[in-house]
Amino acid sequence: MAQDVLRHLFTGFVRLHILYHAAKQSVCGVEMMDELRHHGYKIGPGTMYPILHDLEEAGHLASEEEIVQGKRRKNFRLTPRGKRLLVEAREKLRELAGEILEDHDDGPLAAGK
């Protein structure tokens, strides 16, 4: 059960990370897998590409195909709808992270209790 909750949580982090980078420049699956690996995520193509396609289907990303070294590559960029989602998600994340990370009370999470 705990693993399922963590998996859903991390998948959300991955989606947010993809939207963040797609706002800065076009991204492709292989580059995003490498980027996420730098942050400790081990994401394979079987996870990455369905996430990219889901974000595209939802209208948050748009794609263009190009040929790179004889191989077809799909680049994704943020759409206006994706930008609105990213802005809202960042606001929620900032609020939640502030509450969770700045909680200094003597409750059950203080000092590993």
Architecture of domain 2-100: Orthogonal Bundle (1.10)
CB 21 within 8 Å of CB 76: no
User: Dihedral through CA 95, CA 87, CA 48, CA 29, nearest 10?
Assistant: -140
Burial class (CB in 10 A: 0-12, 13-18, 19+), 45: exposed
3-class DSSP state of 58: coil
Q: Look up the pTM and report it.
A: 0.83
CB 16 within 8 Å of CB 86: yes
Q: pLDDT digits over 32-42, tens only?
A: 999 999 998 89
- Where are the chain's structural domains? 2-100
CB 62 within 8 Å of CB 79: yes
Phi-psi region of 111 (alpha: psi -120 to 50; beta: other; left: phi over 0): left
The pLDDT of residue 106 is 57
Q: pLDDT digits over 48-59, tens only?
A: 999 999 999 999
